[in-house]
Structure 1
Amino acid sequence: MVDWSGGNDTGKSPRQDAIWACVARLGRAEAPQYLRNRKVAEDWLTQLFEAEIAAGRRVLAGFDFPFGYPKGYAAALTGKSDPFALWNWLENRIEDSPQSNNRFDLAGEINRQFGGRGPFWFNGLKRDVDGLPRKKTDYENSFSERRLAEKRAKGAFSCWQLGGAGAVGSQVLMGLPVLARLRRRFEAAVWPFEPLDKSIAIVEIWPSLTLGAAPAGQIKDAWQVREVARTVSTLEPDALAEMLAVDAPEEGWIFGLGHEDRLRQASAQPPRLTNDCFALPPGVHWTPVREALVLLQDRLTPVTGSETMPVAAATGRILAEDVVAARSNPPLPNTAVDGYGFFGGKAAGVHRMPLVEGRAAAGDRPGLVPLGSAVRILTGAALPDGVDTVVLQEDVTVSDGQIAFHGPIKAGANTRRAGEDVVQGDVALTQGARIGPAQAALLAASGVGDVSVRKPLRVAVLSTGAELVEAGNTAALGQIFDANRPMLLEMVRRFGHEPVDMGRVPDDRDALAARLEAASKAADLILTSGGASAGDEDHVSALLTEAGAMTLWRIAVKPGRPLALGMWSGVPVFGLPGNPVAAMTCALIFGRPAMARLAGSAWEEPQGFEVPAAFTKNKKHGRTEYLRARIRDGQAEVFASEGSGRISGLSWADGLVELPHDAAEIVPGTIVRYIPFASFGL
């Protein structure tokens, strides 16, 4: 996406009102490029287009100026209503260099053909130009002041105005000749005049259609092209096709006009994962658990969109951005006890002070207490002016309108400072935090009404295998009941995500492909069990391989080992082992933190505890092992069998014992790491 300029070279330092361009792919925007003049910009675009075509990719290139003029102008000037005739006419007459150009003189020449009072106006030169008015005084225009697109796009400027705030007239005169050369050189297709069936597709954009002011400290032009590029690169093919379905054969059109809400929704979407995000480094065969977790942490990014909702309704959601306290907590100094307030500390001995009338209670507006006097004050009340210290009521006697108490007492005793919890303007909670009861209380106390939160991560759960039968039905010999799906659906729910039940699929590749396609439309992540290895009936890994987006992670872990990771129609797929014990273990160790990251949360490490073992084991070097375990009498017991088919061990256990990658000799009393299921959110 390109923000154009009709002016001269803007110098070495990035600045506003220059040419800015930004490239984005799958919702990931590169750093905006500062292009100081049109020669530099045209060279940069040429190199970009050549590189993308050589790589076999297509480019949607947006430019922020009109591609056509109001109806009738092209024919009046060139004799043809074809907008490209006008492009070529301008290319043959515009003279341009980094320090000067002839746009004002050419505009005056055009105006003289139509009577000398329009359609162009504004002269930015010190000298007068015959036929070009400096202001819109005695201005005459035989054509429409605006295209239909400008009439519908609130705030859009007329292409006849050559200067002043927001004017695009000079950009059109200086931009169309460049587009004419790029179109010819790359055989590019230009929207909406031509079908976009070429490697380079050129469209007209107007960033202000959906974007407002840039964040503080950022150059608006640079920020806008980045946001537009990022947003457009997230659009699905159907949405893109709908926005491009426009009939404007002469005037052109603004991309996205009439679809502003959809663009705003798309702008809130995070970048998609790339197809190679699961690729392992060359030479990796058996990946240690810690290394696999680091790889996942580095390569996964949030895939959920965001929405704004009241704090009271946002519990369980993940913050999409930092939340700044709207008010200090407490907003004013207040008392922590029931008692009597006055100013200053008191030394040892008996102190007597007159008591003012009334009292200060929670919710009262602070009053004024004269120096040397005291006031009755109740817990939570804001300290009146003239009060900074409170003595407990049980330490005080009251008689004849005065109080008496023994010192010493320090200044500030029994009070809370304003903002000692949270200060207005400070970050109360950071992006990625999940809002629980305590977080909701903090936000409410900080005066925050609405928060931007991530939409729930939708996790599709799918079981594969011809041997599976739904529990409750009749199972033939050789068949088993599907234990994984109900287990994984409940795990997803307890992890705080939205489970989507995609049922069971037999060992049929076409049926599995259709179900994966349905799951990709219904969810943000697909979780399968079974078929994740490299055997004849391992159709999950085979289909992902055919799709060109599969990596079989052979992880040095027991139980588990094969973990098929890939992409299906842009949605990440986690192929878990079919064995329920291995499926649950891999879902806990790898799936849970990955889901949290995809949902927009921080990477989640389960809390483990060092406890003495109540078992004996000779562990070999080369893989991390997870044993079903529970705590009894302060020691970790493990299930009698390590067999992955013993599902009963999962319900027997309260957690897992993690044995490290290296060899270990475990005897009763050896300290081991125990991770309770509660640390995983179960």
Structure 2
Amino acid sequence: MFDTVLIADWSAATRKPVKESKDAVWLGVARAGLAVEQVYCRTRLEAEAWLETFFASERSAGRKVLAGFDFPFGYPQGFARQLTGQDDPFAVWQWVSQRITDDEKGQNNRFAVASEINRAFPGAGPLWGKPSEDSWPEIPYRKSGIIYDLVAERRKTDLAAKAASSCFQLFFNPTVGSQLLMGLPTLERLRKRHQAAVWPFQDIDGAQLVFAEVWPGLIEGAVKHALANGAAEEIRDKVQVRLLSQALSGLDERAFSTLFDAPSSEAKEEAWILGAGCGQLLDRQARLATTEADMTLAPPPLRNDCFALPAGVDWTPVDDALAHLRDRLHPVTAVETLPLSLALGRVLAEDVVARRSNPPQPNTAVDGYGFAGPAADGAQVLPLVAGRAAAGQTYDHPVPAGYAIRILTGAALPEGVDTVILEEDVTCDGAKIAFNGPLKQGANTRKAGEDAAEGDVILSKGRVVTPADLALASATGVSHLAVRKPLRVGVLSTGDELVEPGEPAAAGQIFDANRPMLLALLATMGFEPIDLGKAEDDRAVLRGHLDAAAERVDVILTSGGASAGDEDHMSAILREHGAMEQWRIALKPGRPLALGMWQGTPVFGLPGNPVAAMVCTLIFARPAMGLMAGADWQVPQGFELPAAFSKRKKPGRREYLRARLRNGQVEVFKSEGSGRVSSLSWAEGLVELPDGAVDITPGTPVRFIPYASFGM
């Protein structure tokens, strides 16, 4: 029903410390059962600013969002009419939002507003609880003596959910009543700005953004389980928003729709806790989310026919084979959320949005003196204000027109400053500065957000995270990234003729060159290589190897036995027991390529010849595996360079020659024999010759693809 679920654990407290702490505002975001991030906000104003940006970004991306807030959306039936003269709960929202004040330190007037509410009701209450008995006389210190006859003490949904607290309690934990007074103004502003539908007050069909009341107490069992099993060091509020957002976003549509049943007719005025009466369902879903396996998002498996070529296809051109792989494959790796320190080299599972502009405020690019520009031609003299502006030290006073201030590189521009002159261009006596104009307005300054603005997509889904990406994410306030788990690729060599390097080799046996080469290739390409050993030419043994591999890896690479001969057991066993396609590619070297599925795991059956195995891996397996790892389809970067060789090629097949660059020209290995393993080490890349006929002489432009373009 929703693409994104956000859960807010609200607070009525004053500003919390910079270090993450309890009883602050915590925001948890999840998609499809994956916890994307948990955000710590020191104040409600900070939380509202974050939500403003978040909702705008989600709407721009076209995602449907459920935003759950853990405070009551309404009071018991009859409250709204007594206070506002209407039965409309939004009349209460508006009434409260017009009176509540809140500042950057979290200081507010909620007890004064509560006093005004109590004056609208006869007798004591209904709101009670305060920091001291002597303050706010209209508010009882304790509940004793309050008679709830005009309105009930608890709503119908509180009873259904077995919530212990009342929306009339302002002080002494849990302070649900204070959370309500400090939360409704935020909701009122956000719902109007983003056209949010509020459940159950409004019809939510077709709404892109839905607000709902939630209560983490419904998953209390799961929270305790998580805190007792690995999350003990975490802040409870953080665990709650993570698990509840995961639990809700992981439900299928049918289960989700049951949560929106509000059986009480009073819900249209009192509101209703989402999932009240479904606590077991939510708690069970949240418990699943506490295990590592269920904290990741797994994509659907590949289809058994994903490698099947159109009927009647015989020889397949290289470009057609690549297009087929690109169109039929999709990511097979799960998604997890990691801190920046662990995300290097991982593939981004979703776009990354800047949480803060960089720079966050206009600042100076140099050491010098700041003033309101521009500066006219000729000699200029400006008096200095006391103090200075430095990076990390705000200057809190406006700089009057006609004055200047000492300012250091990286400092935020004080009010009244928009231009900075280099200190080398200034004479200063400690009280004033002198310099020669002209100087244009804005000189030597940086605009807020000129690098990246809050809400901008700074990194795109499918990108492999680099050290520079980590710098950009950190600079824009992003602390965690949703990334793909590494693609686990198993390498299996086949053939009775193979022996391990260092073992005695009998006549007719050869050392296995493919497996060490392929394992190293996979590691340099950012995949997780898994050595599956070697299998003899026995189909029962080979089936055992494949069965074991399918339980351990995401992709299997085999070498040898990929053609159609008597001893080509790999292609035969795939054909008999799996899903297998024999691709005859118009390629030199490496025509036979067996592609198939074994127990849901894709298998690339490479030629046994090391040169052909490497070429097929670079040209076909590398981009295909990159796509299955969640990365964008990668076309290797080539360069048109003059040839240092001669060659005449017939039409029909694309050729890849082992080559290297010397003195600005491309030379190729002296022999094209596909058994020359030394040519792979000698080369620094490949020359790609097109499908058609070519006649190359020294100086003819050829396409040279360095090994580095393949990620080697």
Aligned match of 1:558: 588
Matches within 5 A, 1:67-216: none
- The number of aligned residues is 456
Question: 1:507 is aligned with what amino acid?
Answer: D
Identify which of 265, 268, 276 aligns with 2:297. 268
Deviation at 1:214, TM superposition (A): 6.3
2:614 is equivalent to residue 614 of structure 1: no
2:322 is equivalent to residue 293 of structure 1: yes
Secondary structure of the structure 2 residue equivalent to 1:526: strand
User: Could you tell me how far apart the structure 2 residues matched to 1:258 and 1:417 are?
Assistant: 47
Secondary structure of the structure 2 residue equivalent to 1:535: coil
Secondary structure of the structure 2 residue equivalent to 1:411: coil
CA 1:265/1:258 → structure 2, altered by over 3 Å: closer, same or farther? closer
Identify which of 365, 377, 388 aligns with 1:348. 377
User: Could you tell me how far apart the structure 2 residues matched to 1:403 and 1:387 are?
Assistant: 15
Secondary structure of the structure 2 residue equivalent to 1:371: coil
Question: 1:321 is aligned with what amino acid?
Answer: E
CA 1:223/1:648 → structure 2, altered by over 3 Å: closer, same or farther? farther
Aligned match of 2:311: 282
User: Could you tell me how far apart the structure 2 residues matched to 1:502 and 1:614 are?
Assistant: 41
CA 1:225/1:486 → structure 2, altered by over 3 Å: closer, same or farther? farther
User: Could you tell me how far apart the structure 1 residues matched to 2:486 and 2:296 are?
Assistant: 17
Q: Report which stretch shifted further, 540-549 or 668-677.
A: 540-549
Identify which of 651, 655, 679 aligns with 2:681. 651
**Is contact 1:211-1:224 (8 Å) kept?**
no
Deviation at 1:341, TM superposition (A): 0.8
Aligned match of 2:553: 523
User: Could you tell me how far apart the structure 2 residues matched to 1:630 and 1:253 are?
Assistant: 61
Question: 1:632 is aligned with what amino acid?
Answer: R
Question: 1:425 is aligned with what amino acid?
Answer: G
2:515 is equivalent to residue 476 of structure 1: no
| CA shift digits 1:552-596 (9 cap, x unpaired) | 111111111111111001010011110000001111111111111
Aligned match of 2:390: 361
Question: 2:441 is aligned with what amino acid?
Answer: A
**Is contact 2:571-2:580 (8 Å) kept?**
yes
Question: 2:652 is aligned with what amino acid?
Answer: G
Aligned match of 2:480: 450
- For the aligned residue pairs, the C-alpha RMSD in angstroms reads 3.0
| CA shift digits 1:408-443 (9 cap, x unpaired) | 111111111111111111212111111110001111
Aligned match of 1:380: 410
Question: 1:356 is aligned with what amino acid?
Answer: V
**Is contact 2:247-2:282 (8 Å) kept?**
no
User: Could you tell me how far apart the structure 2 residues matched to 1:350 and 1:344 are?
Assistant: 14
Deviation at 1:496, TM superposition (A): 0.2
Aligned match of 1:338: 367
| CA shift digits 1:518-562 (9 cap, x unpaired) | 111110000111111111111111111112411011111111111
Matches within 5 A, 1:482-561: 482-561=512-591
Secondary structure of the structure 2 residue equivalent to 1:279: coil
2:334 is equivalent to residue 305 of structure 1: yes
User: Could you tell me how far apart the structure 1 residues matched to 2:586 and 2:658 are?
Assistant: 18
Deviation at 1:455, TM superposition (A): 0.6
| CA shift digits 1:629-665 (9 cap, x unpaired) | 0000000000000000000001101110111111111
TM-score, with length taken from structure 2: 0.61
**Is contact 1:256-1:263 (8 Å) kept?**
no
**Is contact 1:389-1:414 (8 Å) kept?**
yes
Matches within 5 A, 1:562-573: 562-573=592-603
Secondary structure of the structure 2 residue equivalent to 1:271: coil
Question: 2:684 is aligned with what amino acid?
Answer: D
CA 1:525/1:221 → structure 2, altered by over 3 Å: closer, same or farther? closer
| CA shift digits 1:375-428 (9 cap, x unpaired) | 111111111111111111111111251111111111111111111111111212
CA 1:220/1:455 → structure 2, altered by over 3 Å: closer, same or farther? closer
Question: 2:317 is aligned with what amino acid?
Answer: P
CA 1:493/1:535 → structure 2, altered by over 3 Å: closer, same or farther? same
Deviation at 1:266, TM superposition (A): 7.7
User: Could you tell me how far apart the structure 1 residues matched to 2:375 and 2:408 are?
Assistant: 21
2:622 is equivalent to residue 592 of structure 1: yes
Secondary structure of the structure 2 residue equivalent to 1:522: coil
Deviation at 1:310, TM superposition (A): 0.4
User: Could you tell me how far apart the structure 1 residues matched to 2:481 and 2:535 are?
Assistant: 40
CA 1:223/1:359 → structure 2, altered by over 3 Å: closer, same or farther? farther
Aligned match of 1:434: 464
Identify which of 459, 462, 470 aligns with 2:492. 462
CA 1:642/1:327 → structure 2, altered by over 3 Å: closer, same or farther? same
**Percent of aligned pairs sharing the same letter:** 61
Deviation at 1:366, TM superposition (A): 3.6
Aligned match of 2:343: 314
Q: Report which stretch shifted further, 584-593 or 255-264.
A: 255-264
User: Could you tell me how far apart the structure 1 residues matched to 2:514 and 2:649 are?
Assistant: 28
Identify which of 347, 358, 365 aligns with 1:329. 358
User: Could you tell me how far apart the structure 2 residues matched to 1:383 and 1:597 are?
Assistant: 46
2:606 is equivalent to residue 576 of structure 1: yes
| CA shift digits 1:124-145 (9 cap, x unpaired) | xxxxxxxxxxxx9xxxxxxxx9
Question: 1:265 is aligned with what amino acid?
Answer: D
User: Could you tell me how far apart the structure 1 residues matched to 2:677 and 2:371 are?
Assistant: 68
**Is contact 1:556-1:624 (8 Å) kept?**
yes
Secondary structure of the structure 1 residue equivalent to 2:521: helix
2:702 is equivalent to residue 676 of structure 1: no
CA 1:578/1:609 → structure 2, altered by over 3 Å: closer, same or farther? same
**Is contact 1:210-1:263 (8 Å) kept?**
no
Deviation at 1:222, TM superposition (A): 7.5
User: Could you tell me how far apart the structure 2 residues matched to 1:482 and 1:400 are?
Assistant: 78
User: Could you tell me how far apart the structure 2 residues matched to 1:495 and 1:263 are?
Assistant: 26
Question: 1:392 is aligned with what amino acid?
Answer: L
Question: 1:414 is aligned with what amino acid?
Answer: N
Question: 1:568 is aligned with what amino acid?
Answer: W
Q: Which runs of 4+ in 1 moved over 3 A?
A: 208-215, 219-226, 252-264
User: Could you tell me how far apart the structure 2 residues matched to 1:311 and 1:209 are?
Assistant: 24
User: Could you tell me how far apart the structure 2 residues matched to 1:623 and 1:415 are?
Assistant: 58
Aligned match of 1:231: none
User: Could you tell me how far apart the structure 2 residues matched to 1:642 and 1:679 are?
Assistant: 22
Deviation at 1:253, TM superposition (A): 14
Question: 1:590 is aligned with what amino acid?
Answer: F
Identify which of 660, 668, 676 aligns with 1:630. 660
CA 1:402/1:267 → structure 2, altered by over 3 Å: closer, same or farther? closer
User: Could you tell me how far apart the structure 2 residues matched to 1:425 and 1:212 are?
Assistant: 26
CA 1:376/1:209 → structure 2, altered by over 3 Å: closer, same or farther? closer
CA 1:263/1:378 → structure 2, altered by over 3 Å: closer, same or farther? closer
CA 1:488/1:220 → structure 2, altered by over 3 Å: closer, same or farther? closer
CA 1:362/1:306 → structure 2, altered by over 3 Å: closer, same or farther? same
| CA shift digits 1:139-169 (9 cap, x unpaired) | xxxxxx99xxxxxxxxxxxxxxxxx979xxx
**Is contact 1:597-1:603 (8 Å) kept?**
yes
| CA shift digits 1:435-460 (9 cap, x unpaired) | 11000111111111111111111000
For structure 2, the 5+ residue unaligned runs are 2-32, 34-151, 153-159, 162-198, 202-242, 259-280
Question: 1:332 is aligned with what amino acid?
Answer: Q
